[in-house]
Amino acid sequence: MPQDSKTKRAVSIWIFSIIALIFGGLTLRSSGLVLFTTGEFHQQQGNFVPFVVWTNFVCGFAYVIAATGLFLMKRWAAYLAYLIALVTAAAYTFFGMHVMNGGLYEMQTVVAMAIRTLFWTVISGLAYYYIIRPGTQLSS
């Protein structure tokens, strides 16, 4: 593979990995505040759905780990990004079932889960395209 193509590939995945790292930090902060505080921020969240917040909190750690691995162009990170996308989509599906069964929720949760699901689906696709697909010349 020509050096220009490798450089372009690396820069593309680095940009997305930095965004994923920031996203992970923000996810840990916001979900942690909801789960572990009783202050104003917690009250402002309204009718949050606990299993969604817990899923986001646990996945926040995976976001940071995946972002680091993606920055280093590791194959395992591409698989982790795919797993994050699957877990997020599953949580979104269960959240939808919660809503359809008359459960309380906030519209911001609908939007946030849609963004998370789309974001990690795109990241996992890019990770496949830039890290896994080129072949075995990259270390795992």
87 part of a folded domain:
yes
Give the number of domains in the chain. Answer: 1
Residue 57 exposed, middle or buried by CB count within 10 Å (0-12, 13-18, 19+):
middle
Q: Phi, psi (5° rounding) for residue 134?
A: -60, -20
Quote the CA–CA distance of 82 and 66 in Å, as a whole number.
10
**pLDDT tens for the chain, residues 1 to 140:** 455 566 666 788 889 999 999 999 999 999 999 899 887 776 777 888 999 999 999 999 999 999 999 999 999 999 999 999 999 999 999 999 999 999 999 999 999 999 999 999 999 999 998 888 876 454 44
Supply the pTM of this predicted model: 0.85
Q: Judge whether 140 lies within some domain.
A: no
Domain with 57 in it: 3-132
- Gap between the Cα atoms of 28 and 58, Å rounded: 8
**Torsion sign, CA atoms 21, 122, 30, 94:** negative
